[in-house]
Chains A and B, each alone.
Chain A
């Protein structure tokens, strides 16, 4: 069972603002500090394809290290954009961070029992 990094984002996620998100997450995953990601999206007021690209890119990196990504509580406008891009076909969602963490530990438990 790995350690999860909770990334709480707020504001607008676009070409200009994705860089710090990328940097922080990649650093945590590559160094082994975290394996799973919880993306807390409640505070995100806007997302476009740059933001989605950054999320899917972090998903791929987490997967390389056998981790999982769960998104928590995007607002309806943000959720619509994520849905259209098919993000939820690869990334799970949860209503709360606690639920997300529970889901992650359950997923690892399942994986371990196989």
Chain B
């Protein structure tokens, strides 16, 4: 087994108000950033959907009646891309519940956001607690993992 040592990552940070019109900005910005590495076009499309879902969740659930800051951090390393999307909203009390397909607190929505994130990214973890905001961290490997 050859251990490949990963070089220092290249990181960008975005901060913007939780407006729906910024969802498109965030996914495009991350996609352009990711294009520095040899992701396939399909992988870039998948990254765009995942970022779109995570930022939409922050806008819809993080700041339902209010407005706040959404933070997106993207880090490229030799193996792929790690993205963190965070809000300072009310948080989620039951993360396992929220991760299940079809779960939503908003009438008229499908509960598909996290399903897409899980399907399109190689790893996805939700960090949240009531009153502590929500962060989703997701990872796209340059070489697709087995479950793709």
| B59 within 8 Å of A (CB atoms) | yes
| Whole-angstrom distance between the Cβ of B148 and the nearest chain A Cβ | 13
User: Are A84 and B119 in contact, CB atoms less than 8 angstroms apart?
Assistant: yes
Contact partner of A84 among B19, B53, B116, CB < 8 A? B116
| Whole-angstrom distance between the Cβ of A10 and the nearest chain B Cβ | 14
| Stretch of B72-80, B83-91, B104-112 contacting A (4+ beta carbons < 8 Å) | B104-112
Q: How far is the CA of A56 from the CA of B110 in the complex (A)?
A: 9
Contact with B along A55-95 (1 / 0, CB 8 A): 01100000000000000000001001100110000000000
| A111 within 8 Å of B (CB atoms) | no
Contact with A along B51-62 (1 / 0, CB 8 A): 011001001100
Q: How far is the CA of A85 from the CA of B110 in the complex (A)?
A: 10
- Chain B residues with CB under 8 Å of A49's CB are 53, 56, 109-110, 112-113, 115-116
Interface residues on A, range: 10 to 19
The closest CB in chain A to the CB of B42 belongs to: A77
User: Are A48 and B108 in contact, CB atoms less than 8 angstroms apart?
Assistant: no
User: Are B119 and A14 in contact, CB atoms less than 8 angstroms apart?
Assistant: no
- Chain B residues with CB under 8 Å of A80's CB are 45
| A106 within 8 Å of B (CB atoms) | no
Contact with B along A34-61 (1 / 0, CB 8 A): 0000000000001011101100110000
Contact with A along B14-58 (1 / 0, CB 8 A): 000001110110010000000000000010010011001100100
- Chain B residues with CB under 8 Å of A50's CB are 52, 56, 109
Contact partner of B23 among A16, A53, A85, CB < 8 A? A16
Q: How far is the CA of A48 from the CA of B24 in the complex (A)?
A: 11
| A97 within 8 Å of B (CB atoms) | no
Q: How far is the CA of A34 from the CA of B21 in the complex (A)?
A: 30
Q: How far is the CA of A53 from the CA of B56 in the complex (A)?
A: 13
User: Are A15 and B23 in contact, CB atoms less than 8 angstroms apart?
Assistant: yes
- Chain A residues with CB under 8 Å of B23's CB are 14-16
User: Are B20 and A16 in contact, CB atoms less than 8 angstroms apart?
Assistant: yes
| Whole-angstrom distance between the Cβ of B28 and the nearest chain A Cβ | 9
A-side residues, CB < 8 A to B, are 12, 14-17, 46, 48-50, 52-53, 56-57, 77, 80-81, 84-85
